[in-house]
Amino acid sequence: MAVEALEARPCAIAAENAPGMLRRYPQFTISPAILLALLAAWWLATDVLGVPTYVLPRPQDVLRALLGGLSRPPWDKASYWYHAGITLWEAVLGFAIGSALGALLGLVLSHWPILGKSWYPYIVGFQSLPKVALAPLMVVWFGFGLEGKVFITAIITFFPVLVNMMAGYQAVEPERIELARSCNASELHLFTKIIIPSCLPFLFAGLGVASVLSILGAVVGEFVGASAGLGMLLMQFTQAMEIAQLFAVILLLAVIGFLMNHVVSLVERRYCFWAQRSNATART
């Protein structure tokens, strides 16, 4: 104990003395520096060290491809906007359907334990199945259109929401339910005023995971057969060895995934603002 304390001291003092900006806002200081370093390394590898461009395109070529694809109007089929819009629509629809069903079923299976217990082995079994394996089947069932992509996205986003909702239900403090019962609360009130709000932090954890997975679902759906979308573009550019364009689309997908997740956390901050702060204080 004493040795630890002695060793910890100088470190603590050093940290105190570190520049305030770096310590307080590493996301605005150190994070951009990391980005710059990565870009410099990329540029060095391609332009200076001469890694072939069909393996790693030059950053300026990727930027040119990105700007070229984004400068066309959205109705132009050569525009990235057009394909990004289609992929985003597939992802959002699938996400909405999958997570709504997941949340609802999570509540139902938790509230009626007989249902939950009898369905549990099948849920576990289906969850351990890699859902992308179903993508080729979607082409058979739904063809090359929107439905197949929405379906696969819905299946992929369904499980994290379901599992988190069930965990949330289990975590409802029994005292809250006892409080409602002591006031003769109806079943409906118990659900709307206690159980569902209590589950929100868990629900949002599931939605955060699902929002990122929804892009994955849409892209995989497009891989196996599509006439439009960023996933289809990826396949096309790969076959044509347009590696700079390929990188541009990958970047775009990363941005879309990030934005989806960000929207979810914005909604969470609006409706679930109490959760993080309450964990620190309100649970006595």
Residue in 189, 205, 216, 192 with CA at minimum distance from that of residue 267: 205
Does 183 engage in binding with another protein (CB under 8 A)?
A: yes
- Quick one: 33 exposed, middle or buried, by C-beta within 10 A (0-12, 13-18, 19+)? exposed
- Binders of another protein in range 134-173 (CB under 8 A): 173
Size of the site for another protein (CB under 8 A): 27
Does 182 engage in binding with another protein (CB under 8 A)?
A: yes
The distance of closest approach from Cβ of residue 117 to another protein in the complex, given in angstroms and rounded to an integer, is 18
**45-83 burial: b if 16+ Cβ within 10 Å, else e:** ebeeeeeeeeebbbbebbeebbeebeeeeeeeeebbbbb
Q: Which stretch binds another protein (CB under 8 A): 35-43, 127-135, 224-232, 275-283?
A: 275-283
Residue type present at position 86: I
Residues 6+ apart with CB under 8 A from 131: 152, 155, 156, 159, 217
- The smaller minimum CB distance to another protein, of residues 68 and 197, is found at 197
Does 274 engage in binding with another protein (CB under 8 A)?
A: yes
Whether residue 121 contacts residue 109, with contact meaning beta carbons closer than 8 Å, is answered with no
Does 282 engage in binding with another protein (CB under 8 A)?
A: yes
Does 243 engage in binding with another protein (CB under 8 A)?
A: no
Give dist(CA 255, CA 29) in Å, integer. 21
- The smaller minimum CB distance to another protein, of residues 21 and 179, is found at 179
Which one of residues 101, 119, 193, 223 is an interface residue with another protein (CB under 8 A)?
193
Does 283 engage in binding with another protein (CB under 8 A)?
A: yes
Does 185 engage in binding with another protein (CB under 8 A)?
A: yes
Give dist(CA 230, CA 54) in Å, integer. 20
Q: Which stretch binds another protein (CB under 8 A): 32-40, 81-89, 118-126, 188-196?
A: 188-196
Which residues bind to another protein, rule: CB under 8 A? 173, 175-176, 178-186, 189, 193-194, 197, 200, 272, 274-275, 277-278, 280-284
